[in-house]
A and B are shown apart, each in its own frame.
Chain A
Amino acid sequence: DTAVSQTPKYLVTQMGNDKSIKCEQNLGHDTMYWYKQDSKKFLKIMFSYNNKELIINETVPNRFSPKSPDKAHLNLHINSLELGDSAVYFCASSRGIGEYNEQFFGPGTRLTVL
């Protein structure tokens, strides 16, 4: 029944590793997002996809690569993890673009890079 789900909930890994976070929404939405929330709770958008097409790509290192296999999924792959990547990553979805629609957020994935 979860509207926006993320896996894993917690991720602890070593510097230099490659990891992925998965996001799925069952709301039938067309638009999905990735946000990063740092240790000071500051929340910043990273990427947005609409109908599997990238529409927002903020200043994010190339080590971060989003992938949308279909409208219901938006995964985030991170290469060569660094200490500064430690944060909570939130996935969100909205009905679409054209007029503002409420964004529904997932529960977050807490990434810790050691």
Chain B
Amino acid sequence: GAVVSQHPSWVICKSGTSVKIECRSLDFQATTMFWYRQFPKQSLMLMATSNEGSKATYEQGVEKDKFLINHASLTLSTLTVTSAHPEDSSFYICSAPGTSGRANTGELFFGEGSRLTVL
């Protein structure tokens, strides 16, 4: 099946620094990728939808300048947490939708997730 690789799997940084998380589709092209933040007690919050070659679509309440998303190629999307603070500590997960021909099958292929801890 399709593979999505996310890196790094965990990162610890100091408050005020920026952290970049990469999400790669290894064996398929992804014109769209979704970025989620997972809070304690499991719930997944969709942060934004990244689109190759255009601006990301952010969900309501997500700061665009805080969480920079770039989808530079058909296999790579990045999330940069700028000027990170302890409240940004969380588990971030990316995913890409599977396709059959041009149709979106609805199935999502997830990265392994990135645990961010801001001190």
Whether both chains belong to one complex is answered with no
